[in-house]
Amino acid sequence: MKVKIFLIGTEDDKKYIGKIKRWSKLSKCGEHQIIFITKEDGKKTSTGRMLQLPIEAKIKNCHIMLVLVGNNNNQHPWLIYHRYAIQLKKPIMYMRIPYTTDPVPQRFAYLTQVAFNPNAVEKLVRDYKHRYEQYLLRRQQQDTTSTDTNLYTPNPNDMPSENELDAPTSM
């Protein structure tokens, strides 16, 4: 299973976004297949032209949201898309860029912080995959139990009468 992580940061964070993408290419994030999506990424058409997808579509198609927090957080694009990601019930975490000192915006206060290193990203993906597998198992169990109860619905005409219940059966 490929896990899609949407990375979002300010213009000043491009260097760190590139570093995180390189971790995955160099397999520093474990053996997981990770696709990092950024707001600058586009989709190639059949003619080779690059189309920019709206950020909302990128948020909808990702599995995990990872918000980079550094300096200049009052201009952070995440503040605009925060509510949309919550409506979609996406897991959202933030990653503090090393050696930055600006306070974390109030809207980020409830988010889980992920350390800025490849091992933390690998753990994030591993935990997501585990939760997803648990979700699939629960869903599969619910499907089997719901179909089991629907397999036999007694028909009143098929029910034995009281006389038939009391009659001895011959063997």
Query: Under a CB-based contact definition with an 8 Å cutoff, are residues 68 and 94 in contact?
Result: yes
What pTM did the predictor assign? 0.68
Query: Under a CB-based contact definition with an 8 Å cutoff, are residues 104 and 69 in contact?
Result: yes
Judge whether 167 lies within some domain: no
Q: Which domain holds residue 77?
A: 2-115
- Give pLDDT, residue 37: 66
Judge whether 52 lies within some domain: yes
Query: Under a CB-based contact definition with an 8 Å cutoff, are residues 13 and 66 in contact?
Result: no
Judge whether 136 lies within some domain: no
Judge whether 23 lies within some domain: yes
Mind listing the pLDDT tens digit for each residue in 98-114?
998 888 878 777 888 99
Judge whether 137 lies within some domain: no
Pair type for strands 50-52 and 42-44: antiparallel
pLDDT at 157 over 70: no
Residue 103: CATH number of its domain: 3.40.50.10140
How many structural domains is the chain composed of?
1
Residues 118-135, mean pLDDT to the nearest whole number: 87
The candidate with the shortest Cα–Cα distance to 3, out of 17, 24, 23, 26, is 24
Judge whether 7 lies within some domain: yes
Judge whether 124 lies within some domain: no
Residues 28-50, mean pLDDT to the nearest whole number: 63
Distance CA 106, CA 103 (A): 9
Judge whether 129 lies within some domain: no
